[in-house]
Structure 1
Amino acid sequence: MQTVVTAKLKLNTTPEQFKALRTTQLAYRDSLNYVSQYAFEHGKMSNAVRLQDATYEEIRLRFHLPSQMACSVPRQVGASYKTLWTKVKNNAVHRKEGKTKKRYKGLDKAPKFISPTLTYQYKKDYTFKKEQQVSILTLEGRVIVPYTGYNKHVALIQRGTEIGASKLWYDKPKKQFYLLVSLEIETADPTPETHKQVVGVDVGMRYLAVTATMQGDCTFHSGKQIVPKANHSARLRKRLQKKGTRSATRRLVAISGRERRLKQNTNHVVSKRIVLQHPQSLIGLEHLTDIRERTKRRKGKSAKQRKANRTFSKWSFAELHSMIAYKALLHRSMAIKVDANSTSQACPKCGHTCKENRPNKGLLFVCQNCQYTLHADLVGARNIAMRTLLIRQDWRGTGLLSVRAFCVGR
């Protein structure tokens, strides 16, 4: 089984190499916007082959991109348009079903690419050399740049691990280039017998994650120290957006980077703790796709309701799930997604499900049928664990993962 991890390599460039890489990045971004405008004017085209046939020569002539980069540009634009078309179709279905009244406007005008991040193809645009050096293609030819990175990732590269495409990312505040390289690591194929334990993970704001096992063990990963910082950033961002000056915009950029790093680091720490505490486990996660459209809270328009919506949207739970998924595969575990419907309203003892089981929507769960009382987040984690156990039993009996399970990281 293949698991993909991303190695972040710091490029130690000279001033001449820095200038060459930056020029290449900006030319690549301009070519993306040119092809995006062409696709929009020709029926919002998403076919990468047709886009390449129509724009390849102009990309080479106008932006002077090497041949492989000129092929990568239409593919990237085509993939972006396919994603937007999927969102348009899903939005039409949701509007027809009455789940939302808003019309998706992503294709009302040509998508504009802001980030100068460009894509390199391995052995065509970049190759690794000895003594921790990498050869990278630019508009002026190849440059050989020394790099540093996480020791385990560097060892995997030098060992000859299967390497895929990479992205050249520029950290503007630090004026530093990084190469984000995809590495495919071979892991053992999962079987029901290798997963000796079942774990349910419930995510939230008061507690970023709550885990529960079928043996009654539980762990609370608190967000007490993190959430106030996120709330402060939100208040500060609101004031700066209202001010609207150039200095306020610069502060907004700095705050957004700081907040992104805070969330990413916290999610890394929480996911690592969960995976290391439960080795060789089948980890159940909530299937939260389209959760905002599926919940009724979006229909409120009062100031209180809007504030509640902002609170629920502050944390990156999808990122936390993805980190748990790929770390689990590296530790002989596996994460799957289960149905998230009514996990915090269903009684894990008698099965009774109703909104009244959570008085005032608080943290206390009190079953109206059997009076079973417990922390609401722990109830959610236990329900997820039981649903994961059912999937594991089906898997063991049939040899196939149930269609109710959404496998992560495969």
Structure 2
Amino acid sequence: MQTVLTAKLKLNTTPEQFKALRTTQLAYRDSLNYVSQYAFAHGKMSNAVRLQDATYEEIRLRFHLPSQMACSVPRQVGASYKTLWTKVKNNAVHRKEGKTKKRYKGLDKAPTFISPTLTYQYKKDYTFKKEQQVSILTLEGRVIVPYTGYNKHVALIQRGAEIGASKLWYDKPKKQFYLLVSLAIETADPTPETHKQVVGVDVGMRYLAVTATMQGDCTFHSGKQIVPKANHYARLRKRLQKKGTRSATRRLVAISGRERRLKANVNHVVSKRIVLQHPQSLIGLEHLTDIRERTKRRKGKNAKQRKANRTFSKWSFAELHSMIAYKALLHRSMAIKVDANSTSQACPKCGHTCKENRPNKGLLFVCQNCQYTLHADLVGARNIAMRTLLIRQDWIGTGLLSVRAFCVGR
């Protein structure tokens, strides 16, 4: 089984190399916007082959991009338009079913690419050299730049890990270039014998993650210290956007990314703790597809309804799940997705399921049938663990993971 990691390499550029990379980035972004305008004017085209046939020569002449970059631009624009078309179609279905009255406006005008991040193809646009150096293609030719990074990632690159495409990312506040390289490493194929322990992970806002095992062990990973900070950044961003002055815009640029980095760091810490506490385990995660739509409040006053929906949309649960998944594979464990329906309302003792099991939707779970009482988030984690155990037993009996289990990280 292959696991894909992203190595973040800091590029130590000279002033001349910095200028060459920045010029290439901006030309790449301009070419993306040119192709986006062309696609919009020709029926909002999403076919990458047709876009390349129509715009390749103009990209080379107008923006002076090398051939491989000129091929990457239509592919990226085509993928963006495919995503937008999918959202348009899903919105039409939801409007027909009465789930929403709003019309998706993502294709009312040509999408504009703001970020100058560009894509490099390995062995075509960039290659690694000895002594921690990388050769990168620019509009003025190749430049050889020394780099630094996480020791384990650097070691994987030097030992010959399977290297894929990369992205040249520019940190504007720090005026620093980074190369984000995808690495594919081989991990052992999982079997029921190598994953003897079963763990259920429930995510939420009060506690970012709660774990439970079939032996009764549990851990709580609180968001008490972190969530208020994230909420503060969200409120600050909202006030600055509403003000709209030039000084407010400068302030937005200065604080941009802080909330995202805060959440990413916490998710890394929590996921690492969970994986290290449960080696060689089958880790069950909730299948969170359409979680925003399923948890959306549709009752109550408009202000309270919007506030509740905004609160439950502030944390990146999918990012936490993905981090648990890839870290698990690196520590001889595996994460799978299980059905998340009624995990916090079902009694783990007698199986009785109803909304009244959660009085006032609080932290206490009280079964209305057998009076089983426990912390509500821990009940959710135990139910996920039991559903994961059922999948493992089916795996042992059939030799295949159940079609109901969605393997993560493959």
TM category, shorter: over 0.9
Greater CA drift, 106-115 or 262-271: 106-115
1:102, distance to aligned residue in structure 2 (A) = 2.1
Tell me, in whole angstroms, the C-alpha distance in 2 between the residues paired with 1:199 and 1:115.
Answer: 39
Cα offset for 1:66?
0.1
Tell me how far apart the structure 2 counterparts of residues 318 and 90 of structure 1 sit (CA, whole Å).
Answer: 20
Alignment deviations for residues 262-319 of structure 1 (CA, whole Å, 9 cap, x no partner): 1111000000000000001111111112112223415655212211111111111111
Deviations 1:108-152 (A, max 9, x none): 111111100000000000000000000000000000000000001
Return the offset for 1:83. 1.3
Q: Is the 8 A contact 1:285 1:384 kept in 2?
A: yes
For residues 227-257 of structure 1, what are the alpha-carbon distances to aligned partners after superposition, in whole Å with 9 as ceiling and x for unaligned?
1212222222232222211111222233331
**Alignment partners' CA distance in 1, 2:381 and 2:253:** 36
Compare 200-209 and 231-240 and name the one that shifted more. Answer: 231-240
Deviations 1:345-399 (A, max 9, x none): 1111111111111111100000111111000000010111111111111122112
SS in 2 for 1:225: coil
Q: Is the 8 A contact 2:359 2:365 kept in 1?
A: yes
Q: Which residue of 1 aligns with 2:269?
A: 269
Q: 1:67 to 1:234 in 2, by over 3 A?
A: same
Question: What is the CA distance between 1:182 and its match in structure 2?
Answer: 0.4
Matched, 1:227 2:227: yes
CA contact (8 A) 2:9 2:149 kept: yes
1:93-116 superposed Cα distances (whole Å, 9 cap, x missing partner): 222222222222211111111100
Larger deviation, residues 236-245 vs 51-60: 236-245
Q: Which runs of 4+ in 1 moved over 4 A?
A: 298-301
Q: Which moved more, 1:344-353 or 1:254-263?
A: 254-263
Give the distance between the partners of 1:72 and 1:234, measured in 2 at CA: 34
Q: TM-score, normalised by structure 1?
A: 0.98
Larger deviation, residues 1-10 vs 393-402: 393-402
Match in the other structure for 2:15: 15
- Between the aligned partners of 1:192 and 1:132, the Cα distance in structure 2 is 40
Matched position secondary structure for 1:299: coil
Q: Aligned residue for 1:129?
A: 129
State how far apart, in whole Å, the 2-side matches of 1:117 and 1:301 are.
Answer: 42
User: Is the 8 Å Cα contact of residues 6 and 183 (structure 2) preserved in structure 1?
Assistant: yes
What per-residue deviation string (whole Å, max 9, x for no partner) do you get for residues 172-225 of structure 1?
000000000000000001112211111110111110000001111000000111
Alignment match, 1:199: 199
How many angstroms apart in 1 are the aligned matches of 2:14 and 2:134? 14
Q: What is aligned with 2:190?
A: 190
Contact 1:95–1:101 under 8 Å retained in 2: yes
Gaps of 5+ in 2: none
For the 8 Å contact 2:292–2:313, the answer to whether it is kept is: no
Name the CA distance, whole Å, in 2 between partners of 1:109 and 1:46. 14
**Which piece of structure 1 moves more, 241-250 or 366-375?**
241-250
When normalised by structure 2's length, the TM-score is 0.98
Instruction: Give RMSD over aligned pairs.
Output: 1.2
CA-CA distance at 1:327 after TM superposition = 0.3
Deviations 1:324-343 (A, max 9, x none): 01000101111111111111
Worse overlay, 8-17 or 234-243? 234-243
Give the conservation status (yes or no) of the 8 Å contact 1:337–1:408: yes
Q: How far apart, in 2, do the equivalents of 1:386 and 1:235 lie?
A: 39
What SS is found at the alignment partner of 2:297? helix
Cα pair distance change 1:321/1:298, threshold 3 Å: farther
Task: Measure the CA separation in 2 of the matches of 1:276 and 1:135.
Answer: 37
Contact 1:207 1:224 survives alignment (8 Å): yes
The answer to which of 241-250 and 319-328 deviates more is 241-250
Q: Residue in 2 aligned with 1:6?
A: 6
Distance 1:299 1:252, change over 3 A: farther
Q: What is the rounded CA distance, in whole Å, between the counterparts of 2:219 and 2:251 in structure 1?
A: 37
Q: Aligned residues, how many?
A: 410
Distance, in Å, in 1 between the alignment partners of 2:102 and 2:293 is: 11
2 CA distance for matches of 1:159 and 1:302? 57
Equivalent residue of 1:344, what SS?
coil
**Which stretch has the larger CA shift, 297-306 or 176-185?**
297-306
1:52 corresponds to 2:30: no
Sort the Cα spacing of 1:138 and 1:241 in 2 relative to 1 into closer, same or farther, 3 A.
same
Q: Could you tell me which residue of structure 1 aligns to residue 70 of structure 2?
A: 70
CA separation in 2, counterparts of 1:279 and 1:127?
A: 36
Structure 1 window deviating more from structure 2 (118-127 vs 190-199): it is 190-199
Contact 1:91 1:103 in 2 (8 A): yes
Contact 2:296 2:309 (C-alpha < 8 Å) held by counterparts: no
The CA deviation at 1:405 is 1.2
Counterpart-to-counterpart distance in 2, 1:345 and 1:211:
17
CA contact (8 A) 1:161 1:184 kept: yes
1:402 aligns with 2:380: no
Aligned partners of 1:317 and 1:208: how far apart in 2? Answer: 8
Alpha-carbon contact 1:100-1:293 (below 8 Å) kept: no
